[in-house]
Structure 1
Amino acid sequence: MEIVHLLRAVAVELGRHSARFAQRNGMHPTDVRALVALMDAARAGEETTAGRLGAALGLNSAGTTALVDRLERAGHVRRLRGERDRRKVTIVVDERAVALGWSHFGPLLHRAVDLLRDYDERELAAIRGFLAGVLDATAQGG
């Protein structure tokens, strides 16, 4: 249980870190979650529509539209129309938002990467497997 309690403590501290970022930048915590979801999708080579973003965040259509409008007004995202199908609109994170995020989260991410350098491949595989299992259990509701 010690490791589970440490994981819970890490989750709480990450939430606080994210909340400080949101507060300092006049954002709602859901705005930060949306930006993370969009950046994760881009890193995976996936395009994100408003519908896909709303589903990822558990928002209805109206809530998703309000979220994207708010992020677009703040200059954090852009709506891009498809080249082949102009009806298809994807949401992309503006580079300024990426830079803003790195200015806040970068030191923490660098420290985490530095900590991982102390582990061998077998240990990293165990850490990866544990975190993937917890993520899967969480996504399934416990």
Structure 2
Amino acid sequence: MYRRRDTRRDMLVAEITAELRRYCVDAQHVGHAFAGQHGLGATDLQALIAVMDAELTGEPITPGRLGEQLDLSSGSVTALIDRLERAGHIRRDRDTTDRRKVLLHYAERGAAVAMDFFRPLGERTDAVMAGFGDDELEVVYRFITAMGGSLREHRDEVRAARVEPAPRRRTD
């Protein structure tokens, strides 16, 4: 009987895949805990992350781009933004170069609430990264960037292939 011998690489790939899966699940739990403590839904949290990521890149997000990222209709995005703005998590600002354009930013109160909640995680993350040299971090960065790109490609394919369910037929 032929028995496949796992190579070190095979075992590493399996362990890395399992760790990524566990990391995603644990990150979701942390995100849900934050959302629950602040009366936010899953989509609210996704929106806040999108606003934060856009600000970190120096290109604030527009409501239209937010809707595209979250796969929401314009009406749903408006309701979402209204809700997050009322709660003090985000603010709307007019673009200084094109007053017709609205940009979304983290509001000071929302940023303070997020900072308080996520500061311990940030400190843990910093401590973990301190254990790696610059060359190692370059490899980790290249890996995680490629994995993120792969996941987003798959997400986009799944979205594009999504088919509306057929209406249920009565069986009586």
For the superposition of Structure 1 and Structure 2, which TM-score range results when normalised by the shorter chain?
A: over 0.9
Q: What letter matches 2:72 in structure 1? A: L
Matches within 5 A, 1:89-128: 89-128=102-141
Calculate the TM-score normalised by the size of structure 2: 0.78
Q: What letter matches 1:55 in structure 2? A: E
2:26 is the counterpart of 1:13: yes
Correspondence for 1:140:
153
| Divergent runs of 4+, >6 A | none
Structure with more relative contact order (C-alpha pairs < 8 Å, separation 6 or more): 1
Q: Distance in 2 between matches of 1:51 and 1:76?
A: 18
Matches within 5 A, 1:1-142: 1-141=14-154
| Deviation of the 1:104 alpha carbon | 1.0
In structure 2, list runs of 5 or more residues that go unmatched. 1-13, 156-172
RMSD: 1.3
Q: Percent identity?
A: 39
Q: Distance in 2 between matches of 1:59 and 1:33?
A: 12
Q: What letter matches 2:139 in structure 1? A: A
Which segment drifts farther, 59-68 or 11-20?
59-68
Q: What letter matches 2:26 in structure 1? A: E
Q: What letter matches 1:141 in structure 2? A: H
Q: Distance in 2 between matches of 1:87 and 1:95?
A: 24
1:76-125: CA deviations, max 9, x gaps?
A: 11111233433211111101111101111111121011101111122111
In structure 1, list runs of 5 or more residues that go unmatched. none
Correspondence for 2:169:
none
Q: How many residue pairs were aligned?
A: 142
